[in-house]
Amino acid sequence: MNRIEIDVASALEDRRLQAILFPALQRSVESRDEAVSEVENWEELRDFGRRVKLHTLEKLPFYLEKLEENVVGHGGKVLWAESGEDAVRMILDIARERAVRKVVKSKTMLGEEIHLNQGLEKGGLEVTETDLGEYIVQLSDEVPSHIVTPALHKSRHDVAELFEAKLGMEPTDDVAKLTLTARKVLRRHFLEADLGISGVNFGIAETGTIVVVENEGNARLSTSLPRVHIALMGIEKVIPRTVDLSVFLKLLTRSATGQRITSYVNLISGPKREGELDGPEEFFLILIDNGRSQIYEDKFLRQTLACIRCGACQNICPVFQRLGGHAYGTVYQGPIGSILTPQMFPIAAVEEHPFASSLCGACEETCPVKIEIPKILLRLRQQVQEARNRGIQRFRPERLGMLIWAWVVSSSRRYGIASRWLRRVQSALLRNGRFKLAVPPISAWQKDRDVPGLAPKRFRDYRESEGAEH
Amino acid sequence: MKVSFFSTCLVDQLFPQVGASAVRLLRRLGVEVDCDPRQTCCGQPAFNTGYASEARKVASYFIKVYRDVETIVVPSGSCGAMIKCHMLEIFPKGSPQYQEVLAIASKTFELSDFLVSKLGIVETGARFTGTVTYHDSCHQLRELGISEQPRALIRAVEGIQFVEMKNSTRCCGFGGTFSVKFPGISAELGRDKLRWIQESNAEYVIANDVSCLMHLDGLLKRERIPVETMHLAELLVK
C-alpha cells in the first residue's frame, strides 16, 4: 500500500498556482453567497436535504432496489459493482460485446475514482472527455484539481498554450475562441462515438430516473447521441422521490456554482423507446460501491455519504485555497476529500489528510447538507492515532509528548513543578523571540514567527503578587 | 454574581496579563471572581490531535476542579468550545462523567458572551484612543456562535475607532497542532490575515483567543509590521 503524502511545498512555491487559486475560489464563494442569500428558507432547505439524505442512507438497500426495479421497468439494465475494477470490467465487457471503439465521457468524479480512462484505454478503447474542464485536464495528461471545476489550476493563458500545442490552434487569450475550438473538436467525437459514459448526480428511486446536472450540453450529447449509454452512480446518490429533487437541485447548483439552476438538467429514464427519434438503444446503470458500504457501517460517520459533490467546502477551505487540489494526491480533495478518502480506502494510506485542517469549520458552515466535517476529521484523527498505537509507532515522540503532557496537566502539583522547570530551561535557550537549538515542534513554528516564550510569572503567581483586586 | 475564572493554560503560561485583565474587568463590573489554584488545561491539544484517552485524562481532572462551581468564565472561544461542545464527545453517553460535562457545559461562558448575554453589559467604562479591528476566532464564531458580543463591547469603548477588516471570519491559520504539522500553510494563512489587517489601517487587532493572537503576533513581529495584538479583556480594562 502506497502512502499518499500531501505535497505542501510544491503548492506553496508554485507562484503561478498561487496567483490563480485564491481569487478564483473567492469568486466562487461570493457567487455562492449571493445565490444563497436570495433563498429565504435556505436553512430549512439544508435541514430538509440532510434529513432526506440520512433517511435514504438508513434505508439504502430498499431505495436502491426500488431504483433498480424502476430503471428495469424503463427498459434499462442495472449492474452492481462492488469495486472500481469490477465496474471497469463490466464496461469493457459491454463495449466488447457491442464492438465499441470510441467513447465520449461527460464529467464523472466516480470515473476518476475508479481510474476509468486508464482502464478503458488499456482495453483498447479511445476515450474523450467532453466537459471542457475535463477535456483540458485530459489533454494535459493531468487529474482534476477540484470536484466541480477540474481545471481550476489552469489560467486561460495555460489553456491557450495547451490548445496551441495539442490542437494546433493560433495563440489567443480569448476565452470564447478557446471554447469554440474545443467545441468544434468535441462535436466530431460526439458524432463518432459508439458509447457515452456519464456520472449521476441523483438517482430517483420512485421513478427510476437518473439526473445529470451540467452547463455545457456535453452530458446531454454524451447520453443521447451514442448508441449505448452507461451511467455510473455511487450507491449513495439515490434519493427517494422527484419532489426531493426540487430541493436538492437548489442546494446543489447554488452551492456549486452560484447558479439558480444550471443550463442543463438532464432527467434520463431508460433508453430510446419505440417511436422515439433520439436516445441510445441501450441504457445501463452501474451502481458502484467501491468502499462506500464501509462508511455505511458507522452511524455517525455515515453522514459522509450525504455529500452531493457541490465543491463548496473546497471553495471556502483556507487550506484548499492555498494548496489547490493536486497537492492532496487523492481524487477527492480538500475537506470532503479528507473525510471521504480515509474511509473508503485503508486509512493508513492517507493518514496525513485528516490532520490537514485547522478545524476552522467553514466547510460545515457552507455544506448544503450540513455534514459535520470537522467532527468527522476529529474522529478520523483518533482512528489514525489508535492504529499507530498498535504497531512500532506506539513509541513515536508525539505520543510520548502527549502522554507526559497529559500526566503533568492532570495534577496541579506536577503542573506547578513542570512550569518552574520549563522556565529554567527556556531562560537558557530563548533570545529575542527565537530559541537557539530549537527542536520540533518549536523549530517548525519559529521558521516564520517569533515565539513568545513562557511568561516570567504565571497568571496564578501574577495574580497573587500583583493583587488582581484593584 | 459569583464566577470561577478558568484562565486556560496558554494564558496561565504565556499571557498572564490577559488573565489578570479579565479578572480585573469582571471585578470592576461587580462580579465576584474566584480563581481555583488547581486549574490547568481543558485537554484540547490532545483532543484535536486525536489523542482521545489523553484528552479524557485531562478533562477528567478539569471536571474534578470545576464540578461544584456555579458559573465558569473563560477568556477563550476555543477552550470554551472544547468545554461546551467537544468534552462530551470523549466520554461515553450516560457515563457519570458525561453527565457532569453536560452540567459544566451549560454553566460555562466565554468572557464576551458572559458580559453581554448573561450580565447585559456593553459599556465597560473603558477608554482607548486608537484604531482597532477584530478577528473572529473560528471556534468562538462557528461553534459558540459568538460574533456580535465582542463587537458591541469594542464599539462601546470611549474614544475608540473600530474598523472591520476584510474576511474577518477567515481562519488565521493557527489551528493548534495544525500550525506545527503544517507550519507552512499555517504561516501563509496568517500572512493573508496580516494583509487584511494592514488594509484596514488598524493599529491594533483584537481577538478573544490568545492562541490566534500569539500566532498573528509572532508573524507581525517577524515581518516587522507595526500592528499590535490585544486580547479583548486587555482592551476593556484600559
Closest CA to B208 of B129, B118, B139, B162: B139
The pLDDT of residue A193: 97
Closest Cβ–Cβ partner in A357, A375, A470 for B178: A357
The pLDDT of residue A427: 86
Closest CA to B211 of B59, B18, B54, B21: B18
Cβ under 8 Å to A: B residues 204-223 = 214-215, 217-219, 221-222
Please write the tens of the pLDDT for every residue from A412-467: 999 999 999 999 988 888 887 788 877 777 888 899 999 888 999 999 887 665 55
The pLDDT of residue A463: 61
CB contact under 8 A, B13 and A419: yes
Q: Which residue of A has its CA nearest to B170?
A: A318
State whether residue A12 sits within 8 Å of chain B by CB: yes
Sheet containing strand A195-198, strands side by side: A77-81, A282-288, A228-234, A195-198, A102-105, A126-129
Residues 6+ apart with CB under 8 A from A386: B50
CA–CA distance, A177 with A168 (Å, rounded to integer): 13
State whether residue B13 sits within 8 Å of chain A by CB: yes
State whether residue B147 sits within 8 Å of chain A by CB: no
State whether residue A404 sits within 8 Å of chain B by CB: no
Beta carbons of B20 and A463 less than 8 angstroms apart: yes
State whether residue A445 sits within 8 Å of chain B by CB: yes
CB contact under 8 A, B48 and A359: yes
Please write the tens of the pLDDT for every residue from B96-120: 999 999 999 999 999 999 999 999 9
* A312 SS3 class: helix
- Cα–Cα distances in angstroms (integers) from residue B143 to residues A37, A153, A157, in the given order: 22, 32, 42
Beta carbons of B70 and B39 less than 8 angstroms apart: no
State whether residue B9 sits within 8 Å of chain A by CB: yes
Instruction: Compute φ and ψ for B195, nearest 5 degrees.
Output: -60, -45
Q: Where are the alpha helices (DSSP H) in A260-317?
A: 292-296, 312-316
The pLDDT of residue A470: 39
Q: Which residue of A has its CA nearest to B64?
A: A410
Amino acid at B126: A
* A56 SS3 class: helix
CB contact under 8 A, B171 and A318: yes
* A440: chain B residues, CB-CB within 8 Å: 180
State whether residue B82 sits within 8 Å of chain A by CB: no
What global pTM score does this model have?
0.96
Closest CA to B58 of B68, B73, B48: B48
Give me the residues of chain B with pLDDT under 70, please. none
Please write the tens of the pLDDT for every residue from A332-369: 999 999 999 999 988 889 999 999 999 999 999 999 99
Give me the residues of chain A with pLDDT under 70, please. 1, 463-470
CA–CA distance, B84 with B51 (Å, rounded to integer): 19
Closest Cβ–Cβ partner in A385, A460, A468 for B12: A460
Closest CA to B233 of B1, B12, B24: B24
The pLDDT of residue A465: 56
- Cα–Cα distances in angstroms (integers) from residue A291 to residues A235, A372, A397, B79, in the given order: 10, 20, 33, 36
* Cβ burial, residue A197 (10 Å; 0-12/13-18/19+): buried
For residue B184, the distance in angstroms to the closest alpha carbon of chain A comes to: 8
End-to-end, the C-alpha distance of chain A in Å comes to 63
Closest CA to A205 of A240, A249, A243: A240
The pLDDT of residue A464: 60
Beta carbons of A163 and A170 less than 8 angstroms apart: no
DSSP B184-195: HHHHHHHHHHHH
State whether residue B58 sits within 8 Å of chain A by CB: yes
Cell numbers found for residue A438: 530549537
Q: Which residue of B has its CA nearest to A399?
A: B51
Beta carbons of A116 and A197 less than 8 angstroms apart: yes
CB contact under 8 A, B187 and A447: yes
The pLDDT of residue B81: 98
Strands, E assignment, A186-252: 195-198, 202-204, 209-214, 228-234, 238-239
* A415: chain B residues, CB-CB within 8 Å: 40
Q: Which residue of A has its CA nearest to B10?
A: A454
Closest Cβ–Cβ partner in A361, A419, A463 for B23: A463
The pLDDT of residue A430: 84
**Residue-range domains of chain A with CATH:** 45-293 (3.40.50.10420), 407-465 (no CATH)
* A380: chain B residues, CB-CB within 8 Å: 50
Residues 6+ apart with CB under 8 A from B72: B3, B4, B5, B6, B66, B83, B104, B107, B108, B109
The radius of gyration of chain A from alpha carbons, rounded to an integer in Å, stands at 26
